[in-house]
Amino acid sequence: MARLLGTQKQHMGPLGRMGHAMAFDAVRRRTVLFGGETLGSGLLNDTWEWDGELWTQMANSGPPVRCDHTMVYDATRRQAVMFGGVNGIGELFGDTWGWSGADWMQLSDSGPPKRSNHGAAYDSARQRLVIFGGTSDGPTRRSDTWEWDGLEWTQVAVTGPTPRKGLAMAFDSRRKKTVLFGGIGADGTALGDTWEWDGVDWTRSADFGASACGDAAMVFSGQRSALFGGIDSINAVPPPHLFGTTWDWDGKHWVLRQDMGPAPRWRHAMAFDKQRRAIVLFGGFGMFGAPKPDDRALGDTWEAEEKRVDA
């Protein structure tokens, strides 16, 4: 039988952080990480790359500092594309940036309304970056869908999932659909619905399966979408629950894979290394509530590979 085996890699590398973004550069065979929030040093705008053995800092300038942005790899234009986020004083971004592996370039400063905590995926079949939802002005949750074709943004749907933030998205290249799971609704509690976007319409595919959660991370691992972590509420009462479980979505069913590996967390980031067939996870936050002076965002690096083991 096949098991998803998690291994903690090195302790050296980026500062511990949460609300950062990661994407795998398939041409250069590197996982790219940008920005995020660290409790000790505020917000960051550093760029790091992971080659499977070592983290290397590539830049400490480029886009302004931010957290709760998104980043995906545009295979057609061979660049990591970042959108949105929020800075340390609550100012939202609506800018689009591209990372070539050497430099950041601003690609656009117009398009979708400014937002943070939205979802994003790269539709490799139609060569489009897809974003959905997030938080806009004040506590407003959004439910709009936009696509970036490398030149401009276009709003493509006005119906679909309900407004939410902290949702997880990944593109299933086998079935050619963008998968969306969960998020945090207007009342601060987590959602557990699964939706799929085919480029024309959103379809509600499931209402149960994986535990309802927000601020989880999801990647497509070649055969299925893998979801890890998250939080079941951002309300203080009752105290929220953090997840450390991995779920797989095959297009019809959610399957609980394992609860071994990284500690429970939320606001972490993942990417799928297609070259080594490994899910890469970095950072996040392992608690909820107002941090104490000695609290730290997580700075651990994990990889999960599907391996054949005896039953």
| CATH fold for the domain made of 2-308 | Neuraminidase (2.120.10)
Q: Classify the phi-psi angles of 174: left when phi > 0, otherwise alpha if psi is within -120 to 50, otherwise beta.
A: alpha
Our CA dihedral for 252, 172, 94, 300, rounded to 10 degrees, sits at: 90
Query: How far from chain centre, in Å, is Cα 50?
Result: 16
| Whole-angstrom distance, CA of residue 215 vs CA of residue 180 | 12
Sign of CA dihedral 26, 115, 162, 239: positive
Contact 307, 283 (CB under 8 A): no
Q: What are phi and psi of 14, to 5 degrees?
A: -60, 155
User: Strand, helix or coil at 252?
Assistant: coil
pLDDT at 61: 81
> Is the bond preceding residue 238 a cis peptide, omega within 30 degrees?
yes
> pLDDT tens across 135-164, in order?
998 778 999 999 999 999 999 988 899 999
CA distance 270 to 258: 17
CB-based burial label for 12 (10 Å; 0-12, 13-18, 19+): exposed
pLDDT, mean of residues 41-49:
92
Question: What is the mean predicted confidence (pLDDT) over 23-28?
Answer: 96
Give the contacts of 292 (CB within 8 A, at least 6 positions apart): none
Q: Would the pLDDT of 171 be above 90?
A: yes
Q: Region 125-141: what's the mean pLDDT?
A: 92
Give 259's pLDDT tier (boundaries 50, 70, 90): low
Whole-number pLDDT of residue 1: 39
Q: What are the DSSP calls for 123-187, one per residue?
A: ETTTTEEEEEEEE-STT-EEEEEEEE-SS-EEEEESSSSPSBBS-EEEEETTTTEEEEEEEE-TT
State the average pLDDT over residues 207-224.
96
Check whether 301 has a pLDDT greater than 80. Answer: yes
**CB contact at 8 A, 293 and 8:** no
Every domain of the chain and the residues it spans: 2-308
Average pLDDT over residues 28-42: 91
Predicted local distance difference test score (pLDDT) of residue 138: 72
Q: What percent of the chain has pLDDT over 90?
A: 81
The answer to whether residue 180 scores a pLDDT higher than 80 is yes
Q: Which of 26, 24, 54, 22 is nearest to 35 (CA)?
A: 22
Spatial CB neighbours of 244, under 8 Å, sequence gap ≥ 6: 228, 229, 259, 261, 262, 263, 264, 265
Q: What is the pTM of this model?
A: 0.94
Q: How confident is the model at residue 238 (pLDDT cuts 50, 70, 90)?
A: confident
pLDDT the model gives residue 3: 57
pLDDT at 143: 96
Mean pLDDT in the chain? 92
**What local confidence, expressed as pLDDT, does residue 140 receive?**
85
Burial class (CB in 10 A: 0-12, 13-18, 19+), 41: exposed
pLDDT of residue 311: 43
As a whole-number percent, the residues of the chain with pLDDT over 70 amount to 92
Is the predicted pLDDT of residue 112 greater than 50, yes or no? yes
List 5's β-bridge partners, or say none. Answer: 305
